[in-house]
Amino acid sequence: MTAGASTWITGTASNSTTQGCFAACMHSGVSAKDMRNEKQFAAGGRQRRALLVLGMHRSGTSALTRLVNLLGVELGDKLLPAHADNEKGYWEHEEIFQVDEYILNRLGSRWDDVTLLPEHWPDSPRIRDGRDRLLQILRRDFGDTALWGLKDPRLCRLLPLWKGILRELETEPFFVIALRHPHEVAASLEKRNGFSQTKSLVLWLDHLLQAEEHSRGCPRLFVSYDQLLGDWRACAEKLAPLTRRPVSSLAPEVISQIERFLSPALRHHVATPGAASRETLVADLAEKVYAIFSGAAGGDEARLEELDELRTAYHACHSVLEQEARQCPTEQALREQAAAARKVTRGKYAQWIAKHALTGSDIHYFEERLSSAWSGHPPVHLLTIHEPGREQALADTLDSLSAQLYSGWGLTVISSVASPDPLFEETQNLEWIQWDGNLMEGVNKVAAQSGADWQALIRPGDRLAANALFSCLDYAQLHPQWRLIYVDEDAIDGQGNREDPLFKPDFNLDLLRAMPYMGCFLLVRRDALDVAEGYGMEMPGVYHDLALKVLDACGEKAIGHVPKVLLHCGEHPGEDREKADCRRALEAHLARNGIEAKIRTGPVSGSFFIDYACPRKPPVSIIIPTGGQAAALDGCVTSLLQKTDYPRLELLLVHNGSSEPEAQALLERLAADERVRVLRHPGPFNISAVRNLAAGEARGELLLFLDDDTQVLQGDWLERMVANALRPEVGVVGVRLIGIDQTVQHAGLIAGMAGGIGWPYHHQSLNEPGYMGRLHLAQNCAAVTGSCMLVKKELYEQLGGMDDKAFAVFFGDVDFCMRVGKAGLKVVWTPHVNLLHYGAVSLSANKAVDPKKQADRERAAFIDRWLAELAEDPAHNRNLSLRDLDIKMEDEFDVTWDRSFHSRPRVLAFPLDSKGGGEYRVRAPLRALDAARLAQYSLFSNYSKDRPLQVPMLPELERAGPDSLLLQHSFTDLHLEWLEHYKRHSDTFLVFGLDDNFLFIPGKNASRECFPRNIKYRLRKALSFCDRLVVTTEPLAELYKGMIGDIRVVPNGLESARWLGLESRRGRGRKPRVGWAGAMQHQGDLELIQQVVEALAGEVDWVFMGMCPEALRPHVSEFHGWVPYELYPQKLASLDLDLAIAPLERNSFNECKSNLRLLEYGVLGWPVVCSDVAPYRQGPVTRVPNKASAWIQAIRERIHEPSALAAEGERLRQWVLEHYLLEGHLDLWLGAIFSDAVLARFGLGEARVTGQGVRDAVGSLR
Q: What is the pLDDT of residues 601-624, one digit of tens each?
A: 888 888 999 999 999 999 999 999
Q: Same structural domain for residues 437 and 572?
A: yes
- Residues spanned by the domain of 1120: 1061-1220
Domain stops at, among 1049, 1071, 1094: 1049
Q: Same structural domain for residues 1035 and 956?
A: yes
Mean pLDDT is lowest, of 132-136, 233-237, 961-965, for 233-237
Predicted local confidence at residue 340, as pLDDT: 55
Is 46 exposed, middle or buried (CB count within 10 Å of its CB: 0-12, 13-18, 19+)? middle
Predicted local confidence at residue 1258, as pLDDT: 37
Q: In terms of Cα–Cα distance, which of 461, 451, 457, 443 is closest to 544? A: 457
Q: Same structural domain for residues 1121 and 1000?
A: no
Residue 949 has pLDDT above 90, yes or no: no
Q: What is the CATH number of the domain that holds 941?
A: 3.40.50.2000
Q: How many CB atoms lie within 10 A of CB 120?
A: 11
Share of the chain above pLDDT 70, in %: 88
- Is residue 633 in a domain? yes
| DSSP H helices in 612-754 | 630-643, 661-671, 687-697, 717-725
What residues have CB less than 8 Å from 438, skipping those under 6 apart?
Answer: none
Highest mean pLDDT among 77-91, 194-208, 711-725: 711-725
Q: What's the average model confidence in pLDDT over 684-691?
A: 93
Predicted local confidence at residue 1247, as pLDDT: 37
Q: What's the average model confidence in pLDDT over 828-844?
A: 81
Residue 1037's alpha-carbon distances to 385, 867, 1008, in angstroms, are: 67, 35, 21
- Specify the higher pLDDT residue, 496 or 46: 496
Whether the Cβ atoms of residue 768 and residue 342 lie closer than 8 Å to each other? no
Share of the chain above pLDDT 90, in %: 64
Residue 5 has pLDDT above 50, yes or no: no
| DSSP H helices in 357-500 | 360-372, 391-402, 423-426, 439-449, 468-478
Residue 8 has pLDDT above 50, yes or no: no
Q: How many residues does the chain have?
A: 1262
The pLDDT tens digits of the residues spanning 236-285 come to 998 888 888 898 889 888 888 888 888 655 544 444 333 333 446 678 78
- What is the distance between the terminal CA atoms of the chain, rounded to a whole angstrom? 105
Is the peptide bond between 540 and the residue preceding it cis, with omega within 30 degrees of 0?
yes
The pLDDT tens digits of the residues spanning 394-439 come to 999 999 999 999 999 999 999 999 998 888 888 899 999 999 989 9
CA 364 and chain centroid, separation: 34
Query: Confidence band (pLDDT; 50, 70, 90) for 846?
Result: low
Predicted local confidence at residue 839, as pLDDT: 77
Query: Confidence band (pLDDT; 50, 70, 90) for 1257?
Result: very low
Residue 531 has pLDDT above 80, yes or no: yes
Residue 917 has pLDDT above 50, yes or no: yes
Residue 220 has pLDDT above 90, yes or no: yes
Predicted local confidence at residue 578, as pLDDT: 64
Q: Same structural domain for residues 910 and 1021?
A: yes
Predicted local confidence at residue 862, as pLDDT: 96
Whether the Cβ atoms of residue 1093 and residue 1102 lie closer than 8 Å to each other? yes
Q: Same structural domain for residues 627 and 588?
A: no
Q: In terms of Cα–Cα distance, which of 778, 761, 991 is closest to 888? A: 761
Q: Same structural domain for residues 1020 and 1106?
A: no
The pLDDT tens digits of the residues spanning 697-744 come to 999 999 999 999 999 988 999 999 999 999 999 999 999 999 887 789
Predicted local confidence at residue 3, as pLDDT: 35
Predicted local confidence at residue 105, as pLDDT: 87
In SS3 terms, 1134-1187 reads as CCCCCEEEECCCCCHHHHCCCCHHHHHHHHCCCCEEEECCHHHCCCCCEEECCC
Query: Confidence band (pLDDT; 50, 70, 90) for 40?
Result: very low
Predicted local confidence at residue 1090, as pLDDT: 94
Q: What's 684's DSSP letter? A: S
Residue 816 has pLDDT above 70, yes or no: yes
Q: Same structural domain for residues 1039 and 1068?
A: no
CA 401 and chain centroid, separation: 32
Query: Confidence band (pLDDT; 50, 70, 90) for 18?
Result: very low
- Is residue 29 in a domain? no
Query: DSSP letters along 466-512, please?
Result: TTHHHHHHHHHHH-TT--EEEEEEEEE-TT--EEEEE---S--HHHH
| DSSP H helices in 218-306 | 225-230, 232-243, 252-261, 281-297
Predicted local confidence at residue 58, as pLDDT: 87
The pLDDT tens digits of the residues spanning 870-883 come to 999 999 999 999 99
- Is residue 4 in a domain? no
- Specify the higher pLDDT residue, 273 or 967: 967
Q: Beta strand pairing status for 676-680 and 730-738?
A: unpaired
The pLDDT tens digits of the residues spanning 299-344 come to 888 888 888 878 877 776 666 566 555 543 344 444 455 455 445 5
Q: What's the average model confidence in pLDDT over 666-670?
A: 90
Q: Same structural domain for residues 522 and 593?
A: yes
Predicted local confidence at residue 86, as pLDDT: 66
Residue 1000 has pLDDT above 60, yes or no: yes
Q: Same structural domain for residues 101 and 144?
A: yes
The pLDDT tens digits of the residues spanning 1085-1113 come to 999 999 999 999 999 999 999 999 999 99
Query: Confidence band (pLDDT; 50, 70, 90) for 1254?
Result: very low
Cα pseudo-dihedral 1079, 1083, 1089, 1093, rounded to 10: 70
- Is residue 129 in a domain? yes
* Nearest-angstrom CA–CA distance, 507 and 529: 18
Mark 836-859 as b/e (b = at least 16 C-beta within 10 Å).
bbbeebbbebbeebeeeebbebbb
Q: Same structural domain for residues 954 and 861?
A: no
Q: What's the average model confidence in pLDDT over 137-165?
A: 93
Predicted local confidence at residue 377, as pLDDT: 94
The pLDDT tens digits of the residues spanning 470-524 come to 999 999 999 999 999 999 999 998 888 899 999 999 999 999 999 999 999 999 9
Q: Which residues are bridge partners to 749 per DSSP?
A: 783
CA dihedral (883, 885, 886, 887) positive or negative: positive
Q: Beta strand pairing status for 1028-1031 and 1139-1142?
A: unpaired
Q: What's 72's DSSP letter? A: T
Predicted local confidence at residue 22, as pLDDT: 24
The total number of structural domains that make up the chain: 5
Angle, helix 281-297 to helix 307-325, in steps of 10 degrees? 140
Domain stops at, among 587, 612, 637: 612
Q: What's the average model confidence in pLDDT over 1022-1046?
A: 96
Q: In terms of Cα–Cα distance, which of 655, 884, 658, 839 is closest to 740? A: 839
Predicted local confidence at residue 348, as pLDDT: 85
Q: Same structural domain for residues 1034 and 1091?
A: no
* Average pLDDT value over all residues in the chain: 87
Q: How many CB atoms lie within 10 A of CB 643?
A: 22
- Is residue 548 in a domain? yes
Residue 346 has pLDDT above 80, yes or no: no
Helix (H, G, I), strand (E, B) or coil at 154: coil
Q: What is the CATH number of the domain that holds 393?
A: 3.90.550.10
- Is residue 1240 in a domain? no
The pLDDT tens digits of the residues spanning 732-786 come to 999 999 988 778 999 999 999 999 999 999 988 877 889 999 999 999 999 999 9
- Is residue 951 in a domain? yes
Whether the Cβ atoms of residue 1151 and residue 1175 lie closer than 8 Å to each other? yes
Domain stops at, among 582, 612, 642: 612
Residue 191 has pLDDT above 90, yes or no: no
- Is residue 674 in a domain? yes
Q: In terms of Cα–Cα distance, which of 340, 347, 345 is closest to 770? A: 340
* Nearest-angstrom CA–CA distance, 233 and 248: 10
Radius of gyration of the chain (CA): 39
Q: Same structural domain for residues 624 and 606?
A: no
Q: What is the CATH number of the domain that holds 228?
A: 3.40.50
